[in-house]
Structure 1
């Protein structure tokens, strides 16, 4: 290589290089201090790279900036070569596999995003995805001790075993951060396939490298290459001259069990080397946060962590915080990009939950309710099996084993049922994912369900609380006929409060005779409030010369605020 090129051409290339960097920085909405933190570069290096009249930044600096700002790396490096006047082939120094830990985006290492992108894809820069604050648990302490040993010069391998979206990959990412400050590299073999990449290059792993084997079943469980990869990892870990290195892997429990179980006598042993490699190196990640972890998460909320706050709102009871965080973006994507029948069923379920229907939604109710959520064109294109296909699509889980709308079972009460117990729902019932319920309360709060929703509720719902809440919701939305029909269904089932609500509707409509009849029915059945309301209504009517009068708001029995 030698230096050449026309000075004006070199200056123009440097100016264009810096302009592209400035534009991308503005689109990303980052400060140079934030950019330095994301790239792992020194602040002075960042400042010099952007400084007009400053020297040409190094190729490593340009590559790191391009990667974090979503710019085409090859084009930026070509501009940099022209600006530096480099002519001829550029010698490449083999610094080892992978790249410095600080240059990795955790999402490129398959850490699940927990929120929506903060920068639109069409803006010309890569979207920045959110990560909530991190809660350290017992397995993090074991990871930290392993990383400490590696930093002191001893090679280690740790395999985190846990179900989907329990926080395994994020734990690995947090664990390697101390090594980033020491200049360690991270290699994630995946091209052309994970197994092929690992088998081809494990013998090239240099000291001070993290080998990242997320979803290790793709490496260790490969039918042809798995045992050879395990052998290569064993060699890497036991060769003193090649260390220190850190191998981090994640596995689901079912894969770990299948690799470590001993075969019966006379049966083949397809995972003997893998079993030997995993022995003493696995670390269990729990399904849920314990009380200590929930308290630590609450501390993050107090410091302003909105993602964690939302997750705790939905998942504190069962503690599956990481699963909730991991599944949320995909649940919304499945809703927003679903077929018309899928969206119609989800919107009917969202409306039912936000208006007060219980967790368990009858399938027959959802199918009948969904029809008016469809446009005329979409309705005309429905096939005979549209509902079956839509429910099947909604049952497919996302990260964290959450499905947008999953079939569930109702628990039978363990105490004697009251005389007025609701008629049990016949047929399957479904439960809406908690995150989609919350999403619906926010995005649909000003929308009123269509007629098919109210008709389906009146036809299929039997729980008194469900009918009461929907009747109240219909009333405040001026769906008065449906409010009347829902109250009437409750009253016919023997619920005296519904008679009072019907009486109040008659009173508000100026039908004093109808209101009095309903109050009398409730009073005859022993409802004391009905007697008081009847006496008060007669007193007011007599004092005003018999003119109709509405009950004051303080005596209405249905809520006036929108759910």
Structure 2
């Protein structure tokens, strides 16, 4: 086809004839001409052959200089031949930027997608709104230079899925409006395609070298590609062109490293090419970029909104967006055993288990998530294979289920053991579910109740008191009442006295005083329980019993018990005793007692004394909402001693 089309292009025919005449006049063969012109032997052969496409402006200029022919005359023939090549195959590589789909240029899909993309349908995926960062400003400057006629090259360096390729795509959009072409060499291999067709690149072309290690790091062709790119950038006849590439930091460090004295220098031409042309892409979004992303999310961008909810805290939005579709694919196409482990983790997280999931719990709980057929096919080492499958990384260095090490909890020394707090974690490795899959599980499995193996594994392996408390509530609301009972008892056995408090209340209300008292003895350290019992005795008219309970709770370190007792004394007419108790609690640093004391003085008509106490509370700093309401009443706007209209606790 090339031969038939070339015969119909008079300018191309004349160009090749003049080159052949010049070659004969210089008495050179094609190998000698290639060496003199600084071109490859194949490039020279194709330039002279009637069966090959039109040579590039760079090739024509190099041949004209080597053969001592008028360069401008031959370049004019080349341009005329290019203009007349529209009816056949394109004379220069690439196609208009507007004809490309970004996903065909290896921009990672960001949405989950209902169907796998295929040829011609990849554009169906919706990309999230783009948030410009500092490297985008530098990249835009290079694009502006290229649009103005100056060839430029930029290689974006950053970790996996940090937004490098998307940044390149967004950057070239102004060139699309100017009719520029884009060439993405990849067939039959990236390196081979680049090496063969770089000499044919025409002006106003973007050379797209995503994952540039496949070009520059190729053992056989990398240095030759680096040299060809450098020649393309510095040869005026070829410009303007824009070379855009992406690299991981480890590759950039390898290619730019200086050789040791006397050692090999395998990347000298590539190092020269990269010098001054590397642009770093940060791993995370800074505060201004996160604010811009939040604005887009508020405007209806659901992809960005989801990424912010999962990764906004650490700023790794790009990695989250790039990894989300692949994480979901991993789940959908996982082996039955791996899928069962993932579903256990999803159910555990949505029902209130913490981030760190013990491997023993996940393995034991997975049994009932498998069908009878899949369960019968399990091998002895099925768990090892399942966890290995789920640990494989996807884009953004994420894994569906990754092993993690919980940080040690640092607390100030305490003279006595705390009532609250988790029990020591269970022995063995723990794992963390990917945030995206956790979010997916909360939606897709919200109406499903975990099977019996889940509750059994939780009772057997979980030791965190908060986890057990949350699962107790989850079991009760799903009418798994036996499991709720055993999980509550498990929490109590591990040292959580609050686990048994609610049953004590229910038994007391049902008239089972003996059972309630037995449970109350188990939760003797639960002072809030004691205060609640005191309130009920007080409401029943048993003031002496209530006072005894309050003093008992106070002896165990609960200051609110004395506050309640103080109010009781006030109601009984013992204002001096009430204020003495409130003052005793306040002296221990409890601002609630000061507020209560202020209310007592207000009720006694001592407005000035109440306001003085309100000022003392304000000096202690922020307080609760209910206390703030009391303070605003006692110390209204305009009474601030320094004349400001806002009370100190609201500044």
After TM superposition, is the score higher than 0.5?
yes
How far, CA to CA, are the matches of 2:120 and 2:261 in structure 1? Answer: 60
The equivalent residue for 2:432 is 431
127 and 431 in structure 1: CA distance in 2 versus 1, 3 angstrom threshold = same
The equivalent residue for 1:289 is 285
Alignment map for 1:333-372 (pairs within 5 Å): 333-372=329-368
C-alpha displacement of 1:500: 1.1
C-alpha displacement of 1:206: 0.4
C-alpha displacement of 1:134: 0.2
Q: 1:134 aligns with which of 130, 133, 148?
A: 130
The answer to whether the 8 A contact 2:284-2:315 is kept is yes
Q: Quote the RMSD (CA, aligned, Å).
A: 2.4
Which shows bigger deviation, 286-295 or 488-497?
488-497
120 and 247 in structure 1: CA distance in 2 versus 1, 3 angstrom threshold = closer
C-alpha displacement of 1:495: 1.7
1:411 and 2:407 aligned: yes
The equivalent residue for 1:151 is 147
The equivalent residue for 1:516 is 516
The equivalent residue for 1:195 is 191
1:178 and 2:174 aligned: yes
The answer to whether the 8 A contact 2:504-2:520 is kept is no
* 2:233 alignment partner, SS class: helix
Q: 1:317 aligns with which of 306, 313, 318?
A: 313
How far, CA to CA, are the matches of 1:427 and 1:150 in structure 2? Answer: 58
How far, CA to CA, are the matches of 2:258 and 2:116 in structure 1? Answer: 51
C-alpha displacement of 1:112: 0.4
The equivalent residue for 2:619 is none
The answer to whether the 8 A contact 1:119-1:125 is kept is no
129 and 537 in structure 1: CA distance in 2 versus 1, 3 angstrom threshold = farther
C-alpha displacement of 1:97: 1.1
How far, CA to CA, are the matches of 1:183 and 1:123 in structure 2? Answer: 24
How far, CA to CA, are the matches of 1:94 and 1:240 in structure 2? Answer: 22
The answer to whether the 8 A contact 2:391-2:399 is kept is yes
The equivalent residue for 1:307 is 303
How far, CA to CA, are the matches of 1:495 and 1:306 in structure 2? Answer: 41
Alignment map for 1:99-498 (pairs within 5 Å): 99-117=95-113, 128-415=124-411, 416=413, 418-419=417-418, 421=421, 422-498=423-499
* 1:406 alignment partner, SS class: strand
Q: Which runs of 5+ in 2 are unaligned?
A: 2-85, 541-651
C-alpha displacement of 1:123: 13
Determine which structure has more spread, i.e. the larger CA radius of gyration: 2
How far, CA to CA, are the matches of 1:123 and 1:94 in structure 2? Answer: 22
122 and 257 in structure 1: CA distance in 2 versus 1, 3 angstrom threshold = closer
The equivalent residue for 1:23 is none
233 and 477 in structure 1: CA distance in 2 versus 1, 3 angstrom threshold = same
C-alpha displacement of 1:419: 4.2
How far, CA to CA, are the matches of 1:526 and 1:358 in structure 2? Answer: 24
The answer to whether the 8 A contact 1:119-1:128 is kept is no
How far, CA to CA, are the matches of 1:427 and 1:524 in structure 2? Answer: 33
The answer to whether the 8 A contact 2:142-2:152 is kept is yes
C-alpha displacement of 1:494: 2.7
Alignment map for 1:5-44 (pairs within 5 Å): none
How far, CA to CA, are the matches of 1:308 and 1:383 in structure 2? Answer: 42
The equivalent residue for 2:502 is 501
The answer to whether the 8 A contact 2:149-2:239 is kept is yes
Deviations 1:202-251 (A, max 9, x none): 00000000000000000000010100100110111111001000000000
How far, CA to CA, are the matches of 1:300 and 1:126 in structure 2? Answer: 24
The answer to whether the 8 A contact 2:355-2:433 is kept is yes
The answer to whether the 8 A contact 2:112-2:324 is kept is no
How far, CA to CA, are the matches of 2:462 and 2:114 in structure 1? Answer: 41
How far, CA to CA, are the matches of 1:187 and 1:353 in structure 2? Answer: 46
* 2:155 alignment partner, SS class: strand
C-alpha displacement of 1:538: 13
How far, CA to CA, are the matches of 1:199 and 1:120 in structure 2? Answer: 33
C-alpha displacement of 1:532: 3.5
TM-score (structure 2 length as normaliser): 0.66
C-alpha displacement of 1:492: 1.9
How far, CA to CA, are the matches of 1:514 and 1:199 in structure 2? Answer: 89
C-alpha displacement of 1:267: 1.4
How far, CA to CA, are the matches of 1:319 and 1:428 in structure 2? Answer: 27
The equivalent residue for 1:10 is none
How far, CA to CA, are the matches of 2:439 and 2:268 in structure 1? Answer: 48
The equivalent residue for 1:527 is 527
Number of aligned pairs?
Answer: 451
* 2:124 alignment partner, SS class: coil
How far, CA to CA, are the matches of 1:160 and 1:526 in structure 2? Answer: 60
How far, CA to CA, are the matches of 2:249 and 2:504 in structure 1? Answer: 60
Deviations 1:30-64 (A, max 9, x none): xxxxxxxxxxxxxxxxxxxxxxxxxxxxxxxxxxx
How far, CA to CA, are the matches of 1:231 and 1:447 in structure 2? Answer: 61
C-alpha displacement of 1:515: 4.4
C-alpha displacement of 1:342: 0.6
C-alpha displacement of 1:357: 0.7
How far, CA to CA, are the matches of 1:229 and 1:530 in structure 2? Answer: 80
The equivalent residue for 2:15 is none
**RCO comparison, higher one (Cα < 8 Å, 6+):** 1
